Amino acid sequence: MTQAGFEALVKQARAVLNPRRLSEDAEAGGVGAALLADDGQVYTGVCIDTGSSMGFCAEHAAAAAMITAGTSRVLKMVAVLWDGSVIPPCGRCREFIRQLHPDNMDAQVMVAEETVVTLRELLPFLFV
């Protein structure tokens, strides 16, 4: 699996990081994500963490921007932690992205600095 193009995605995901406390009950910006969609655009987002678990992941925020723009097919995706390190998407994000478009199972996902796999490899047993 090639890492071509992931350098720019990692840079864009890192660029949106801005860890901060929003209120006594909420924090944001500790994780950033970048998705390359089939329209050629990169969509970014940050996580919002709340005390009552009503928040959402950075990948969800980036996907919402992508959906708002009118597309749902992800070609490549990456998430980074507050310190800039690449992290794999959580199970909820994996399943969420899968459900947005049937071809998203073939999306390339950077799960560590030197490791790229497909969403299919991250979801070997589908939820039906």
Q: Which residues are catalytic?
A: 59
Nearest to residue 31, comparing CAs of 41, 43, 50, 16?
16
Strands (E), the chain: 20-23, 26-37, 42-50, 74-81, 86-87, 108-112, 115-118
CA angle 33, 37, 121 (to 5 degrees): 70
Contacts of 115 by beta carbon, 8 Å cutoff, 6+ apart:
none
